[in-house]
C-alpha cells in the first residue's frame, strides 16, 4: 500500500496532530494532495495530513478493474468477507489500525491526537471510522459523503460484492445505520454538501444522516452549499474551514 504525508513546519520541533483523509471513487493517495490545496492551512495550523489509497493495488483479483465503482480504486473502506475480495480488501482495518501504526511509528505525529475526514466514498469511510472506533479520533468531517450506503446503488453494489447478499451484514459500514443502532461520536460531525451535486438525490441523500443524528442527539453541523458540485473545486473552497474544525479539537 502507498500513502502520502504532509508535515507542517511545526513538526521539526515537536509532535503534531494528524488528520487522515480518505478519498473517493477512482482516486489514489495523491488526489487530495494535488487538488485540495490543503497544505497552506495545515502549515498555519500545525497539522499533518495523511492520505491513503482507495483499494489494494498489488493483490489483483479477476475483474477488479471491470467497473469504476467496484474493485480497483473503490474499496469502500470495508473489511471484505466475501471471496475472493476477503483475501486482501480489508480497508477498514488498514485505515483504522495498520496505517495508523505505520504513520505513528515513522513520523513525528502525536498518537493521542488524530482526526479523520473524507470525500464521497471517503466521507462514508470517515464517518464510519469515527462512529465505530470510540476514542480513536478526536475530530471528524466529510465532504459530500455517502451517508447511507446500504440504501443507495453505489453502496448496495459494493456491499453485496464485498460483504455478501445479506443486508444485515452491511449495517456495520453504514453511518446512518450505526447511529440508529446507538453508535456515537463524542464530538461534532461536520458535513458539507453541494446543492448542485449530480449525485445528491441518488447516491448521497444527506437528509438521512441529519434525521438519524436529530433522533439520536448526535452533534452534527450539516451545511448545504448552494451551487457547489461534487468536484475537488468544492473541496478546495471549504477545506480550510474543515481543517480549522479539526484543529479546534486536536489543539485544544
CA distance 153 to 156: 5
CA distance 34 to 26: 15
List Cα–Cα distances, 148 to 82, 116, 154, 173, 180, in angstroms: 21, 18, 10, 9, 11
The catalytically annotated residue of 55, 120, 139, 141 is 120
Sheet with 16-22, side-by-side order of all strands? 3-6, 48-52, 16-22, 109-119, 139-143, 189-194, 220-225
Backbone torsions φ then ψ of 100, nearest 5 degrees: -60, -45
CA distance 210 to 200: 14
Q: Is 197 a catalytic residue?
A: yes
Closest CA to 125 of 96, 86, 163: 96
Q: In this structure, what DSSP letter does residue 54 have? A: S
Closest CA to 118 of 77, 61, 156, 168: 77
Q: Is 139 a catalytic residue?
A: no
The catalytically annotated residue of 197, 242, 245, 246 is 197
The catalytically annotated residue of 55, 141, 192, 230 is 230
CA distance 106 to 13: 15
Give the residue numbers marked as catalytic. 120, 197, 230
Amino acid at each position: 500500500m502507498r500513502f502520502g504525508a504532509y508535515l507542517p513546519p511545526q513538526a521539526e520541533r515537536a509532535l503534531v496532530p494528524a488528520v487522515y483523509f480518505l478519498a473517493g471513487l477512482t482516486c489514489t493517495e495523491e488526489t487530495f494532495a494535488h487538488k485540495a490545496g490543503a497544505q497552506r492551512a495545515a502549515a498555519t495550523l500545525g497539522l499533518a495530513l495523511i492520505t491513503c489509497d482507495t483499494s489494494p493495488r498489488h493483490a489483483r483479483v479477476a475483474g477488479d478493474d471491470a467497473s469504476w465503482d467496484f474493485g480497483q480504486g473503490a474499496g469502500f473502506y470495508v473489511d471484505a468477507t466475501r471471496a475472493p475480495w476477503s483475501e486482501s480488501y480489508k480497508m477498514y482495518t488498514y485505515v483504522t489500525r495498520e496505517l495508523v501504526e505505520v504513520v505513528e511509528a515513522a513520523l513525528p505525529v502525536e498518537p493521542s491526537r488524530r482526526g479523520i475526514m473524507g470525500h464521497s466514498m471517503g466521507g462514508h469511510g470517515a464517518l464510519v471510522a469515527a462512529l465505530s472506533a470510540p476514542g480513536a479520533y478526536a475530530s471528524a468531517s466529510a465532504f459530500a459523503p455517502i451517508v447511507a450506503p446500504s440504501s443507495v446503488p453505489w453502496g448496495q453494489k459494493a456491499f453485496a460484492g464485498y460483504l455478501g447478499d445479506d443486508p444485515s451484514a452491511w449495517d456495520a459500514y453504514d453511518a446512518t445505520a450505526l447511529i440508529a443502532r446507538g453508535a456515537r461520536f463524542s464530538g461534532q460531525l461536520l458535513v458539507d454538501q453541494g446543492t448542485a451535486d449530480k449525485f445528491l438525490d441518488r447516491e448521497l441523500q444527506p437528509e438521512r444522516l441529519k434525521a438519524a443524528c436529530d433522533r439520536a442527539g448526535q452533534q452534527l453541523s450539516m451545511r448545504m452549499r448552494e451551487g457547489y458540485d461534487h468536484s475537488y473545486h468544492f473541496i478546495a473552497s471549504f477545506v480550510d474551514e474543515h481543517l480549522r474544525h479539526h484543529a479546534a479539537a486536536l489543539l485544544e
